[in-house]
A and B are shown apart, each in its own frame.
Chain A
Amino acid sequence: MFEYAPAPESRDVVDIKPSYGLFVNGEFVDGSGTAFKTINPASEEKLAEIAAASAADVDLAVQAARKAFTTWSAMPGAERAKYLFRIARIIQERSRELAVLESLDNGKPIRESRDVDLPLVAAHFFYYAGWADKLEYAGYGTRPIGVAGQVIPWNFPLLMLAWKIAPALACGNTVVLKPAETTPLTALLFAEICQQADLPPGVVNIVTGAGETGAAVVNHPDVDKVAFTGSTEVGRLIARSVAGTGKKVTLELGGKAANIVYEDAALDQAVEGIVNGIFFNQGHVCCAGSRLLVQESIAAELLDSLKRRLGTLRLGDPLDKNTDIGAINSAAQLAKIRELSDAGEQEGAERWSPACAIPDRGFWFPPTVFTGVAQSHRIAREEIFGPVLSVLTFRTPGEAVEKANNTPFGLSAGVWTEKASLMLWTADRLRAGVVWSNTFNRFDPASPFGGYKESGYGREGGRHGLEAYLAGSAPRESR
């Protein structure tokens, strides 16, 4: 037996303060809400005390952003670009620190925060920095919208922050951002980076807190633009609450992506794609390939390979460089995953997990595969947001597409085949904003991301991502 010895990344590279305030107008200030703690989900140890922003605190943040908007929006794009480039560079320089902090607060494996999250975060700032002085070429006008209220989830705390803040700032908007209650730390370290970059006060404001703080941001009358990533349930509430206000909204919501494997697929890579699709980030991914649709002719063979592969996944300490599956982000999320998995069993699907030791403390869920799943099962319809794969079979390409699209969601999909025309035929028919063919869960700042149907609206990334933060073309002359 070749056992890998523990290879922990040092947590000493990051200095966590006992408590954190809100970041408003370039300074850390006290919050007037009841402070809350953020914990390490892998150990349940308290990491820090976090200030909670009340509606009044949010108001101060919005005021600061409004005031900063005047100068920030008037600043030449090339100058704004330089601030963003500066931030991108600092992120690169401090990436190890940020990666460790992200893994501590979120529970994700250091391999992912180090090799996926952080490089993408820096790349996102670099990418949008370059747009700041080229907006007139993008086709959405050049006028910023104003103050953007942004609410982000806990699954990719810093990456979602980058997706929100980089394009907003590049277009000349100022922001009030609320990180998720369970993962505020990297956003607060980002606030320090803003200070380090000498970003003008008020351009970026970070208000921490729970749902009420988020609602205060979304509903503040002086917020011109709302950007939200999170559950479809909350997205609905936001869409309803901004009705009639004229606020521009973009929503990045849930998903239940189908990952279609045709019989002629490159099977070893398909297995990797399935694993990456649902077990990346413990399945806490809105675009996760949570429904495996496999052609019946290869189903048994593929499942054997998949199960063998899952036996090699390493679950445990997120800071260990060899960990593949980290901790579930919170007790609440763990309860939700358990509830849906139990429902899957009760509804008659067959549950399987590889043998894997679960640590005593912290929130953990083993990689889990359900076979014999029917479209009508809850685990085939509801977003589990955890390391749980539902396996369904199909006989023909038409049936695969029909099943894939048979959901109110439409964020992403996967298709595996060595036949190019079948791939394009399938991709054409999938009602989803991102289609990964012969790959899965790839992200890039240059590539637009966003959903169809109840997975939300608007795109983040690429030229398309600018649209959410620009007021549109100036009125044209009469024809």
Chain B
Amino acid sequence: MSERLSVRKTYKLFIGGAFPRSESGRSYVVTSAKGEFLANASKASRKDARDAVSAARKAFPGWSGATAYNRGQVIYRVAEMLESRRAQFTAEIVAADGVSGKKAGELVDAAVDRLVWYAGWSDKIGAIRGSANPVAGPYFNLSSTEPTGVVAVVAPPSGPLLGLISVIAPVIVTGNTCVVVASERAPLPSITLAEVLATSDLPGGVVNVLTGNAEEIAPWLAGHMDVNGIDLTGATPELAQSCEELAAENLKRVLRPEAGPIDWLADPGTERMTAFLETKTVWHPIGV
């Protein structure tokens, strides 16, 4: 008997909860760290980026309007489902990064833990970032946090799952919706993650994943007038600068790439959440 011929998978984009091919019809070959063929992935175009922004915008009122507790529950549920796909992610990380199975397993564990950690922030970040302000007058004055809106995320090329989770989770846990430009070299975990998200309780459009070339897609997102913020963590310095310039057009909130390599295992702090939070201050008189 001959060896069974494997069924190869074509990885598609994730937009508005569905998995369309790129409208451009383009795809590209994804290889392993050793250069072996892994799969075909869709190569997103600017129109895909536009569609993803529309989907993210559409999802924003519902997701930002959900209770913080509910968002935490949904994200925790994603962590549970991620855990159950541990083996698949481990294999994909081994293939993508050429690390050992043990190391890849640790990275998946860290990614799950990171998600759980962020899930817990949903109903706490407002408490530590908001304030009751003692103004000099008969006024109740309260500052609270609100999500910025639609955030574009240029995912880091390294750390295919942990890095990805570490940039997506802080953006969405506070109520933003996002369009993620996945690592071009290692996009498969991002689409597998999308498959997890699609079957979780996360509403369609909260996370949208585009695979392809960041240099091509990110500037369209940076210049898009209906995108409110952009995380340039995965951008090269040149791409980051041009995106920051484009982002100026509608005064997007910009999270710049870090100067050196990022230790994704380190405590991320709250900065990735606060970068895409607005502070709203409400005044009201106090009187009989």
Contact = CB atoms under 8 A, between A and B. Distances in A.
30 contacts: A235-B251, A243-B247, A243-B248, A244-B240, A408-B250, A427-B282, A433-B279, A434-B281, A435-B282, A435-B283, A436-B283, A437-B283, A439-B285, A442-B137, A444-B137, A446-B135, A448-B131, A448-B133, A448-B279, A448-B281, A449-B281, A450-B279, A452-B148, A453-B250, A455-B251, A457-B251, A462-B281, A463-B131, A464-B131, A475-B266
Nearest to B241: A244
Given A239-B251, A427-B282, A464-B279, A479 B136 contact: no
Interface string B249-282: 1110100100000010111010100000011111
B269 A476 contact: yes
A427 B280 CA distance: 9
A432 B144 CA distance: 12
A232 interface: yes
B128 interface: yes
A459 interface: yes
Q: How large is the interface on B (under 10, 10 to 19, 20 to 34, 35 or more residues)?
A: 35 or more
A246 B247 CA distance: 15
Contacts of A479: 265-267
Interface string A158-199: 000000000000000000000000000000000000000000
Given A433-B278, A435-B283, A454-B251, 14 more contacts: A237-B248, A240-B244, A240-B245, A240-B248, A243-B247, A243-B248, A427-B282, A435-B282, A446-B134, A450-B279, A452-B148, A453-B250, A453-B251, A478-B263
Interface string B96-138: 0000000000000000000000000000000010010111110
Contacts of B278: 433, 452
Contact of B133 (A244, A432, A446): A446
Q: How large is the interface on A (under 10, 10 to 19, 20 to 34, 35 or more residues)?
A: 35 or more
B62 interface: no
A244 B263 CA distance: 22
A448 B143 contact: yes
B37 interface: no
A435 B135 contact: no
Nearest to A243: B244
Interface in B139-194: 139, 141, 143, 148
Contacts of B256: 246
Contacts of B244: 239-240, 243-244
B279 A472 contact: no
Interface string A420-435: 0001000100101111
A447 B133 contact: yes
Nearest to B271: A472
B228 interface: yes
B136 A444 contact: yes
A348 interface: no
Contact of A477 (B247, B248, B267): B267
Contacts of B282: 427, 434-435, 437
Interface in A227-265: 232, 235-237, 239-240, 243-244, 246, 251, 253
A211 interface: no
Nearest to A456: B251
A139 interface: yes
Majority-rule SS of B interface residues: mixed
Contacts, number: 122
Interface string A288-324: 0000000000000000000000000000000000000
From B131, B141, B249, B284, name the one whose CB has the most chain A CB atoms within 10 angstroms. Answer: B284
Contacts of A406: none
Given A236-B251, A243-B245, A437-B284, A446 B136 contact: yes
A479 B267 CA distance: 5
Contacts of A32: none
Contacts of A478: 263, 265-267
A433 B269 CA distance: 24
A280 to B, nearest CB: 15
Contacts of B248: 236-237, 239-240, 243
Contacts of B20: none
B284 A439 contact: yes
A239 B230 CA distance: 14
Contacts of A455: 251
Nearest to A472: B271
Contacts of A464: 131, 143, 279
A473 interface: yes
Contacts of B136: 123, 444, 446
CB-CB nearest 3 A-B residue pairs: A244-B241, A243-B244, A239-B248
From B245, B253, B281, name the one whose CB has the most chain A CB atoms within 10 angstroms. Answer: B281
A439 B280 contact: no
A102 B267 CA distance: 49
Contact of B284 (A243, A423, A473): A423
A139 B143 contact: no
A438 interface: yes
From A239, A435, A450, A477, name the one whose CB has the most chain B CB atoms within 10 angstroms. Answer: A239
Contacts of A477: 266-267
A244 B237 contact: yes
B266 A446 contact: no
A475 B258 CA distance: 12
Contact of A251 (B241, B251, B280): B251
A139 B251 CA distance: 25
Interface string B195-236: 000000000000000000000000000000000100000000
From B143, B241, B265, B266, name the one whose CB has the most chain A CB atoms within 10 angstroms. Answer: B143
Nearest to A248: B256
Contact of B253 (A430, A457, A459): A457
From A453, A472, A475, A476, name the one whose CB has the most chain B CB atoms within 10 angstroms. Answer: A453
Contacts of A243: 241-242, 244-245, 247-248
Given A439-B284, A444-B135, A476 B247 contact: no
A142 to B, nearest CB: 15
